[in-house]
Amino acid sequence: MNTIAVLTSGGDAPGMNAAIRAVVRSAIEKGMRVMGVRRGFNGLMHGDIFEMTLRSVSNIIERGGTILYTARCPEFRTEEGVQKALNTCKYLGIDGLVVIGGDGSFRGARELSEHGLPTVGVPGTIDNDIACCDRTIGYDTAMNTIVEMVDRLRDTSESHDRCSVIEVMGRHAGYLALNGGIAVGATSVLIPEFEYDFERDVIDRMKRTRRTGKKNFIIVAAEGIKDEIEPMAAVIEEATGVETRYTNLGHVQRGGSPTACDRVLGSKMGYWAVELLSQDIGNRVVAQKDGKIVDFDIFEALSMEKHIEEREYKVAYDISI
Ligand code: F6P
């Protein structure tokens, strides 16, 4: 393999730059040329591509976001879009590709592999919802951001004897809400994976803990739960008499300098993706499983399921009384 390309796709995640850096440096070290593709599959379809050097990735390991920019790309889901991308690769002599992103991006990677372009996926999403992977790039940083932000909200909630309802990201997955909630000692955690009863799991818990002297409350909810989160604040205030404020942490969760864990994870997974391509192995997803860097067939990776165990969910409830 002489020339490989790298792109980032879907929502950005802190640590993606560490992965890009590892791809570029390790490929050049192996004697390959590396092309950077801007704005994910869009750039691949429209030829927004440049050659990267050892110095293109200097001083980026500590930066959040992605220096290659990112996009969600509906056009690439069509056969015509895939053909456009393949034509670009043929024209530029690109014979392997690293896709850093979430499972939507891996579907694109699988398409390209099936059309004969060896492609390797590297899991990067703050949601941690890639089934084959214990931890995705960006999750640890987002968790730490949530903890820092909620600790601040706790200060002001405590000063005013208030309740704080906090919405965190996770359209389909509750990892950030559950583990963020455990880390900040939330009274209730609401996630899409488990049925909850608002009256029992929020209102009654607040009343019960108030009887034991608790005066301020943190409720953490994932954006993907069945109910709207903002109106909960008024319902809680009405039912408990505790003044309640709503905060959506929003996109601050996706930014910021990556933690040491995400830098190391991004570096190792980016490095491993190039190891595979250098042996002409494509159609794989790199993952960290039981502490080790491994890889899976993309089709197999996409068909895997990851569940939050009920006993993990119970931890949040049983120790926040
Ligand atoms: O990156 C995944 C994610 O963070 C989801 O949790 C969230 O719903 C979504 O991205 C938000 O994406 P956008 O930036 O397109 O609003």
pLDDT confidence of residue 163: 98
The model carries a pTM of: 0.96
Identical topology for domains 3-138+258-303 and 142-254: yes
Residue 125 Cβ contacting ligand 1 at under 6 Å? yes
Six-digit token string for 231? 């109106």
Residue 208 Cβ contacting ligand 1 at under 6 Å? no
- Shortest-distance Cα residue to atom 6 of ligand 1: 170
Cβ neighbors of 13 (< 8 A, separation 6 or more) are 124, 125, 126, 136, 137, 138, 139, 141, 142, 254, 262
pLDDT confidence of residue 62: 98
Residue 127 annotated among the catalytic residues of the structure = yes
Instruction: Determine the residue of 70, 73, 167, 171 to mutate for testing ligand 1's pocket, defined as the one with the most ligand atoms within 8 A of the Cβ atom.
Output: 171
What is the CATH number that goes with domain 142-254?
3.40.50.460
- Shortest-distance Cα residue to atom 4 of ligand 1: 169
How far, in Å, from the CA of 211 to the mean position of ligand 1? 38
Catalytic residue among 12, 95, 127, 129: 127
Residue 206: how many other CB atoms lie within 10 Å: 22
Residue 253 Cβ contacting ligand 1 at under 6 Å? no
How far, in Å, from the CA of 125 to the mean position of ligand 1? 9
Torsion on CA atoms 306, 108, 296, 140, rounded to nearest 10:
-50
pLDDT confidence of residue 320: 86
| Domain positions in the chain | 3-138+258-303, 142-254
How far, in Å, from the CA of 62 to the mean position of ligand 1? 22
Instruction: Determine the residue of 72, 100, 103, 127 to mutate for testing ligand 1's pocket, defined as the one with the most ligand atoms within 8 A of the Cβ atom.
Output: 127
How far, in Å, from the CA of 232 to the mean position of ligand 1? 22
CA dist list (Å): 248 to 58, 134, 255? 34, 26, 15
Ligand 1 atom closest to residue 176's alpha carbon, by position in its atom list: 6
Q: Output phi, psi for 238, to 5 deg.
A: -65, -45
Residue 171 Cβ contacting ligand 1 at under 6 Å? yes
Ligand 1 atom closest to residue 11's alpha carbon, by position in its atom list: 1
Q: How far apart are CA 126 and CA 172, in angstroms?
A: 12
Q: Are 263 and 124 in contact (CB under 8 A)?
A: no
Ligand 1 atom closest to residue 224's alpha carbon, by position in its atom list: 8
Residue 127 Cβ contacting ligand 1 at under 6 Å? yes
Cβ neighbors of 94 (< 8 A, separation 6 or more) are 3, 4, 5, 35, 88, 117
Strand-strand pairing, 96-101 and 3-8: parallel
Q: Is 104 exposed, middle or buried (0-12, 13-18, 19+ CB in 10 A)?
A: middle
**Measuring CA to CA, which residue among 293, 264, 271, 255 is closest to residue 98?**
271
Report which residue type is found at 307.
Answer: H
User: What does the pLDDT profile of the chain (321 residues) look like in tens digits?
Assistant: 899 999 999 999 999 999 999 999 999 999 999 999 999 999 999 999 999 999 999 999 999 999 999 999 889 999 999 999 999 999 999 999 999 999 999 999 999 999 999 999 999 999 999 999 999 999 999 999 999 999 999 999 999 999 999 999 999 999 999 999 999 999 999 999 999 999 999 999 999 999 999 999 999 999 999 999 999 999 999 999 999 999 999 999 999 999 999 999 999 999 999 999 999 999 999 999 999 999 999 999 999 999 999 999 999 989 988
- Shortest-distance Cα residue to atom 14 of ligand 1: 11
Burial 262-286 (b: 16+ CB within 10 A, else e): bbbbbbbbbbbbbbbbbeeebbbbb
Among 3.30.565.10, 1.20.58.1880, 3.40.50.450, 3.40.50.150, name the CATH number for the domain at 3-138+258-303.
3.40.50.450
How far, in Å, from the CA of 181 to the mean position of ligand 1? 19
